[in-house]
Amino acid sequence: MSKSSLKQTLQDLESKKISIRELNQDYLKRIKEKENLNVFIHFSEDNILKQIDNLEKDNSTKKLKGIPIAIKDLFCTKSMPTTAASKILQNFNPTYESFVTQKLLDEGSIFIGKTNLDEFAMGSATNTSFFGNTINPLSKENEPLAPGGSSGGSAAAVAADLCLGATGTDTGGSIRQPASFCGVVGIKPTYGLCSRWGIAAFASSLDQAGIFSHNVEDASILLQSIAGFDQRDSTSAKVDIPNYFENLDDDLNGKTVGIPKEYSIDGTPMEISQIWEDAIKVLEKKGVEVKNISLPHTKYALPTYYIIAPAEASSNLARYDGVKYGFRSDEIDSLDAMYENTRAQGFGREVKRRILIGTYVLSAGYYDAYYLKAQKVRKLIADDFNKAFKECDFIVTPTAPSAAFPLNEKQSDPIKMYLNDVFTVPASLAGLPGISIPFGKDKNNLPLGIQILGKHFDEQQVFNVALSLERSYE
Amino acid sequence: MNNLIKGEKHDWEMVIGLEIHAQVKSNSKLFSSSSTKFGSSPNSQVSLVDAAMPGMLPVINKYCVEQAVRTGVGLNAKINNYSVFDRKNYFYADLPQGYQISQYKYPVVGEGKVTIDFKDGTSKDIRIVRLHLEQDAGKSLHDQNPSKTYVDLNRSGVALMEIVSEPDIRTPDEAGMYISKIRSILMYLDTCDGNMQEGSLRADVNISVRKPGDEYGTRCEIKNLNSIKFIKQAINYEAKRQIEILESGGSIEQNTMLFNTSTGKTRPMRNKEEAHDYRYFPDPDLLPLEISQEEIEEIKSSIPELPDELKNKFIKIYKLSNYDASVLTADKQTSDYFNKSINSDPELKNHAKIIVNWITSELFSLLNKNNFELINSPVPPENLGQLVKLICTNEISGKIAKEVLEDMFSTKKSAREIVDKKGLKQVTDQGEIEKVIDEVIADNQKMVEQYLDGKDKLLGFFVGQAMKLTKGKANPKILNDILKEKLNKKD
C-alpha cells in the first residue's frame, strides 16, 4: 500500500493530474473496504459528495482545497453530529463549528467523517467509546490490536490511508501515543496554540488540538492551518504562527538535544530503549550535541495528571445533565432522579470513574492534599523543563512504553492503562509542544514512536528535528 | 442608643451581616455577549455559552470588571490587582454549566467601609469584607405547566457583584439603612440600577443573637430577600425565634433559611444531609484577572461625586445638619433635584433648609400620594425653587404655598403663574391690614372684652377672622403685630 502524501496530493491537484472528485472517491472506496476497523462514528457518503459538489463550484484558490480530512468526534461540527463517543451526546447536532474545524473548512478541506475516540477522550486504547472499539489497521488477522487513545480513530484513519490528515486532541498523550501505536506522525502543539473553542472539554488546562498525518511535512502544513489566536478562548495565545512548512530545515548541526535520565524506566522493553539510542546516534551524526539532563519531578507527573485532569473533568462534564440537550433518561420522577439516571445511563465506566476521582480530590477536606498539591507539583514539573531548556534546544524520548497492545489486554486494570501516558504526560502538564514520529519496529514488526519535545511555541524546532529523524529513518 | 431587645429572661443583642447581590449595570453578560435586558421573552437572550453547549468557553466582559472596580472605589475598598475566578459546583436545572463561575479565595475587591447616618446626628461605619464578581443563574418556572418545570436562561450568566459586610449591624433599622446606603452608592456610580423589585438588588442576611458582651452566637442565613421591608421583618422574626430557643435552653443550629413573605416567618431551606460541598477550584477556562494600578487610577478619576462627599459639601456650603444632608444625598435623584432647585436663583443659597423641607416633606408626600418618582415629578426643581423664593420674600405665606404646590403639581404651572392668576399674593400693605382688623374688632366686641379680661388665647380667633377676610393672604407677622397693637390700645 503506497500512501500519497498531502504535499504530493496538493501538487497533483494543482497540476490537474487528479481531480478533487477522483481523489475523494479513491478515499471513499477505501473507507468502505475498511469498515471493520470501526474508525468512524459518523460517516456519510452523501455528505462527502455534497462537499465535493460545492468545491467544484468554488473557483477560489484554497490551501487545502479538496483534501480529505478526518475529524475526531470531539470537535463540534455543523455538518455532522458530535458525540464525544458518549451515549450522553448521542444525536447531538451542534449549531456551531469549532474554531479548528472552521479553519480547515475555510481552507477548502473535505470532512471525510467523525472519528472514534475514547469517551470524552478518556482512555488510551479507544476502547471506552460508546460506539465500540477501533481496531488498529496494523493488526494481524486473528489478533486485533488497540490503536491507542484517545484519538485512536484519527490515528487509525491516517494509518489505514482513509484520509490525508486528521485532527486529534491531546490531554495527556491522546495524539502522541496513538500516533506511535499506528505508525503515523502526531503533533500536540503548545497549550494555547490552537483554540479550544468548540471542542467538548475533558480537562481545560491540558486539552490541546493537534494533527495526525503520514509524515512530518504534512503535519507542518496542517498544523499551520489550525493554529491561531481566538478571542473566544481566554487561554488562546496571541503569537505569530510561522509558516512551518516553508521554514522546515533538517540541518541540526550545532543544536543540543537533552536526554532526560528519568525517562529510563525499569521494565521498559529493550526495543524501546534501542530505538531511543538509535535516535540519539542519528542526531549525533548530524552534528547535534547530546546532553544528559534531569527532569527530577518526572515520577510525580502521572499521579499529578490523574488528579488534575479528573478534577477538571468532573466539573466540565457537569453540563451533561439531561436538561438542555443530549440523552435524558426515561426515569425522571424528580430532578435528582433525572440527574442520577441520565448520568448513570449516559456515561460509561471510565468517564464515571474519572468523575468520581475528580469529585473526590476537589472535596472539602481533600482539596489541599490532592488538587492543591498537584497544582504545586505541576509547577515544579514545568520548572524542570524550563531549566532543562536552558541547556538544550529540544528533548528526545520514547513516545510510549510499548508498541500497540492487543485489544482488551489492559481493560480490567485502569492503573496499567494509565501507565501508557508515562512519557507523554509531563510535557502536557508543562504545556509544551511534542510530536511522535514512527522510528523503528518491535520484534512483531509493530511501529514504535520517538517523541520530540520543544520549548513553548517552538513547534518549528520540533518539526525540524522530526523531519531530520524521519529522513534518516527512511 | 439602646439596641437591645428584651427576652423573657434578659436582654439580647442581634449580630447581623449582609451579603448583597447587586446586578452589574451592563448591556451584556459577565462571560458572553448576550443582552441583559429585563423582561424579555423567555430564552431570547441566551448565547451558546449561557446554555453551556459542549466546547463553549467563557470570556470575561471587561466592562463588568470596571463596574466592580468602580463600585469598590465607591465603597472605599482595596482594589486587588490580582483576582481569580473559581467554579462553584452544584447541580440545578437553571444552572446550565453545573457550576457557577464566581470568585472564592481571591476577590476583585477587598476590605472597605460605608457610613450610615442616624436621625440624632450620629453615624456608624459598617465594614465591608469583600466584593466579588459572579454569574447569576437562570430561572426555574414551576407554574407554567402542571407536571413540568420550565427553565428560562435569560438571566443565566448575568454579572452580579456580591458585597459582603462584616457582622457590624446590630438592628433591623441599621440593616435597612446599610442596604439603602449601598443602593445609593451603586446608583450614584451607575454600577447597578438598584431596582429591588426586579431583583437587581437582593440580600442574604446572616443573623445571630447574643447576650451583650458575649462571643458571637451561632448564625443562620436568610436567603434572597428583595425588599428592605422584608429584610427588617425577616430579621425581627428570626431574632425572636433564636431568642426563644436559647431562653428555653436550646441551641441554634447553623442553617440556611427562607423567608415567607406572606406569613412573615423563616423556615429552614434544606437539612444537613443536603448540605452542599461546592468543590471550589480555579476555573481553568479563565486566566487570573489582572488589573494594573494605572487602570485603577483611571477608573478612580472617572468616579462621580458620591453621597458622602456630597453630604459634606452640602453641610459646608448650605449649613445643613448631618441628617438633613444625608437624607438629601441618600438618593441621587434627590440630590440632583436639590442642586437644580437651589441653583435656580442666587437668592435661594441662604434658604437651603427651607428647600430641603419643601422637597422632603411636601413634595415627597405629593409624589407618594400620586405614585410618582421624583425623576418624573410634575413640579420641576426650578419651579420649586421659585415657590420657595416666593415664601422667603414674603410674597406668599407657607400655608398658601402648600395650596400653590398642589396646584403646581396638578396643573404643571409655575408658582408665579398660579399666585398671579389666583391673586394669592400676600397682603403686606399696613393700611389694608389695619382696615381688616378694624372690621374684625368692630364685629366682635364681646370677644374683645373677654380678651381684655385676660383670655390671651383669643388672639388666635382674631387672626383667624382676619385671615378669613383676606382669604389667607395677609402677611401673618404684620397681621399679628397690628392686631396686638390695636387690641392692647383698647385697654
At B388-397, the pLDDT tens digits run 999 988 888 8
- Does residue A91 carry a pLDDT above 70? yes
pLDDT band at B147 (very low <50, low <70, confident <90, very high): confident
Same structural domain for residues B251 and B289? yes
User: Residue A174: which pLDDT band, with cuts at 50, 70 and 90?
Assistant: very high
Choose the final residue of a domain: B422, B451, B472.
B422
Mark whether B335 and B441 lie in a shared domain: no
Residues near B446 by beta carbon (within 8 Å), at least 6 away in sequence: none
Cell numbers 442608643: residue: B1
Q: Would you call A234 and B59 a contact, using CB atoms and an 8 Å cutoff?
A: yes
* Contact (CB, 8 A) for B261 and B230: yes
B52 vs chain A: nearest CA distance in angstroms? 7
Closest residue by Cα to residue A451 from A474, A471, A432: A432
- ipTM of the predicted structure? 0.96
| pLDDT of B470 higher than 90 | no
- Counted across chains A and B, CB pairs separated by less than 8 A come out at 94
Q: Which of B88, B94, B285 to mutate to test the interface with A (most CBs of A within 10 A)?
A: B285
**Which of B42-51, B98-107, B440-449 is predicted with the least confidence, judged by mean pLDDT?**
B440-449
What is the pLDDT confidence band of residue A474, given thresholds at 50, 70 and 90?
low
Element (H, E) at B189: helix B172-189
Residue B335: is its pLDDT beyond 90? Answer: yes
Nearest CA-CA distance, residue B146 and chain A, Å = 14
Determine the pLDDT at residue B340. Answer: 94
| Residues of A whose CB is below 8 A from B150 | none
Same domain, B238 and B175: yes
How many distinct structural domains can be found in chain B? 3
Mean pLDDT value across residues A19-38: 97
Q: Let me know whether B356 and B411 are in one domain.
A: yes
What does the mean pLDDT of chain A come to?
96
Residue A416 has pLDDT above 80, yes or no: no
Domain that holds residue B134: 5-299
Give B-chain residues touching A317 at CB under 8 angstroms: 98
* Interface contact B285-A95, CB threshold 8 A: no
Cβ–Cβ of B99/A335 closer than 8 Å? no
- Which whole number is the average pLDDT over A329-333? 93
- Paired strand residues for B169: B16
**Which of B57, B65, B101, B278 to probe by mutation at the A interface, max A CB count within 10 Å?**
B57
Please name the member of A201, A323, A364 whose beta carbon is closest to the beta carbon of B55: A201
- Of A69-78, A188-197, B292-301, B400-409, the poorest mean pLDDT is in B400-409
Q: Which residues contact A270 (CB under 8 A, 6 or more apart)?
A: none
**pLDDT (0 to 100) of residue A411:** 62
CA B217 to chain centre: 30
Buried b (16+ CB within 10 A) or exposed e, A162-193: bbbbbbbbbbbbbbbbbbbbbbbbbbbbbbbb
pLDDT in tens, A183-211: 999 999 999 999 999 999 999 999 999 99
Catalytic residues of A: 72, 150, 174
Q: Which of B395, B422, B449 delimits the end of a domain? A: B422
Verify whether the Cβ–Cβ distance B54 to A335 is below 8 Å: no
Asked if the Cβ–Cβ distance from A319 to B285 is below 8 Å, we say no
Distance between alpha carbon A462 and the CA centroid of its chain, in Å? 16
Do B258 and B372 reside in the same domain of the chain?
A: no
* Domain residue extents for chain A: 1-474
Task: State the Cα–Cα distance between residues A41 and B137, nearest whole angstrom.
Answer: 35
Which pLDDT belongs to residue B272? Answer: 56
Give the tens place of pLDDT for each residue, B213-267: 999 999 999 999 999 999 999 999 999 999 999 999 999 999 999 999 999 999 9
pLDDT at A2 exceeding the cut of 60: no
Of A198, A234, A318, the CB nearest to B60: A234
What's chain B's average pLDDT? 92
The confidence band for B15, taking pLDDT boundaries of 50, 70 and 90, is very high
Q: Which CATH number fits domain A1-474: 3.20.20.220, 3.30.710.10, 3.90.1300.10, 3.30.565.10?
A: 3.90.1300.10
A359 vs B contacts (CB less than 8 Å): 279
Q: What is the pLDDT of residue A267?
A: 83
Disruptive mutation site among A88, A98, A319, A327 for chain B (greatest number of B CBs within 10 Å): A319
Residue A241: φ, ψ to 5°: -100, 115
B491: pLDDT strictly greater than 70: no
Three-class DSSP category at B490: helix
| Coil/strand/helix, residue B167 | coil
Whether B28 shows a pLDDT value over 70: the answer reads yes
Does residue B2 register a pLDDT over 70? no
Question: Can you give the pLDDT at residue A78?
Answer: 97
Q: By a Cβ cutoff of 8 Å, what residues of chain A touch chain B?
A: 75-76, 82, 84, 89, 92, 94-96, 98, 196-201, 203-205, 231-235, 311-312, 314-315, 317-319, 321, 323-325, 335, 339, 359, 362-364, 367, 371
Query: Which residue does chain B place closest to A84, by CA atoms?
Result: B54
Strand locations in A53-198, DSSP E? 68-72, 110-115, 165-170, 185-188
Asked whether residue B96 falls in the same domain as residue B23, the answer is yes
> B287 and A235: CB-CB below 8 Å?
yes
Question: CA B211 to CA B12: how far, in whole Å?
Answer: 5
Q: What residue has cell string 479548528?
A: A100
Q: Which residues of B touch A366 (CB under 8 A)?
A: none
- What CATH number is given to the structural domain containing B453? 1.10.10.410
Minimal CA–CA distance to A468: which of A285, A296, A240? A285
All residues of chain A having their beta carbon less than 8 Å from the beta carbon of residue B55 are 75-76, 94, 98, 196-201
B51, closest residue in chain A (CA to CA): A324
CB-side neighbour CA atoms (13 Å) of B106: 15
Q: How far is the alpha carbon of A455 from chain B, nearest alpha carbon, in Å?
A: 21
Distance of residue B368 Cα from the nearest chain A Cα, in angstroms: 45
Q: Judge if B365 and B435 occupy the same domain.
A: no
B163 and B282 assigned to the same domain? yes
3-state helix, strand, coil in chain A (%, to 5): 40, 15, 45
pLDDT at A1: 39
Q: Is A335 exposed, middle or buried (0-12, 13-18, 19+ CB in 10 A)?
A: middle
The Cα B273–Cα B227 span in angstroms is 31
B interface residues, A as partner, C-beta within 8 Å: 48, 51-60, 87, 89, 91-93, 96-99, 149, 151, 277, 279-281, 284-287
What element of type H or E holds A344? Answer: helix A335-346
CA distance linking residue A222 with residue A224, whole number of Å:
5
Of residues B56, B93, B285, nearest to A323 (C-beta): B93
Q: Is residue B238 domain-shared with residue B327, that is, in the same domain? A: no
**Looking at CA atoms only, how far is residue B85 from chain A in angstroms?**
12
CA dihedral A177, A183, A184, A186 (to 10 degrees): 20
Quote the pLDDT of residue B393: 85
| Distance of residue B277 Cα from the nearest chain A Cα, in angstroms | 7
Answer positive or negative: Cα dihedral of B104, B106, B107, B110: positive
Contact criterion met (CB < 8 Å) for B55 and A198: yes
Of B299, B331, B348, which residue sits at a domain end?
B299
List the grid coordinates of B208: 445571630
Which amino acid appears at position A224 of this protein?
Q
**Percent residues over pLDDT 90 in chain A:** 93
CB contact under 8 A, A364 and B99: no
State residue B427's pLDDT score: 76
CA distance B59 to chain A (A): 6
Closest C-alpha to A40, from A109, A123, A104, A135: A135
Nearest Cβ partner for A315 among B58, B59, B89: B89
Can you count the helices (H) and strands (E) in chain B?
Answer: 16, 16
